[in-house]
Amino acid sequence: MFPLGTALVPGAELPLRVFEPRYRQMLTDHLDDSDEPPRVRFGVVLISRGFEVGGGEVRCDVGTIADAEITGRLPDGRAALRCTGRQRFRVVEWLADDPYPRARVEALPERAPSPEHLARLDALDGRLHSLMRRRLEAAGEDPGPVIAALSVIDADPATADISPIHRWAARVVSQPHDQQRILESDDPAAQLDVLDDVMAGMEARAAFGSI
């Protein structure tokens, strides 16, 4: 397990640098070097109180399995990782942090969004594109390439098996509190409620010139 100051939504990418001895040991114990580049899987949970370095933090119990690619590793075990969130889980039992954080977990099932849910998501996406167009045009920039890039991200086959609601959240939701709310919501309607709150906040900040 890797407790962090941010949550990892399925479909989101997260760069990590491993330098603490306990996590260097975790990589050594679980590294799969049968492929190139080497990979490792571990759970990511948000720290609700405390700090990433040193231990003793209070952790959330709902997190995400990260599929991590090792992009660089030094002889002393320090490493650079590029992680992608895959599957939500709930911690059943925290084990002793010996030699690194460990837990027993259960996978959380994902309910497929209905046509009504997808219609709500499409409306949110329309609001996002409109906001981005206004912001970029106000700055004298062409919004076309940015909007096109978002379409390419949406079509990434590497995340095709992940809920479209999570994929959308992965590129829009940046605050750990909101990311955790998404992770802890099992119902697509509840997930969309969180995204609607996030979108309304972005629109409000844009109206007052702070975004």
Q: What is the pLDDT of residues 96-131, one digit of tens each?
A: 988 999 999 999 998 999 999 999 999 999 999 898
Same domain membership, residue 168 and residue 90: no
Q: Which residue, 53, 81, 107, sits at the end of a domain?
A: 107
Tell me, what's the pLDDT at 210? 53
Tell me, what's the pLDDT at 195? 96
Express each pLDDT in 76-86 by its tens digit.
989 999 999 99
Q: Are the beta carbons of 30 and 203 closer than 8 angstroms?
A: no
Q: Which residue, 107, 135, 162, sits at the end of a domain?
A: 107
Q: Which residue, 51, 79, 107, sits at the end of a domain?
A: 107
Q: Which domain holds residue 167?
A: 115-207
Phi, psi (degrees; rounded to nearest 5) at 14: -145, 115
Q: Within 13 Å and on the Cβ side, how many CA atoms surround 170?
A: 23
Same domain membership, residue 25 and residue 102: yes
Same domain membership, residue 129 and residue 99: no
Looking at the predicted structure, is the pLDDT value of residue 92 above 60? yes
Average pLDDT of the chain is 88
Helix (H, G, I), strand (E, B) or coil at 39: strand
**pTM metric for this prediction:** 0.84
Same domain membership, residue 179 and residue 160: yes
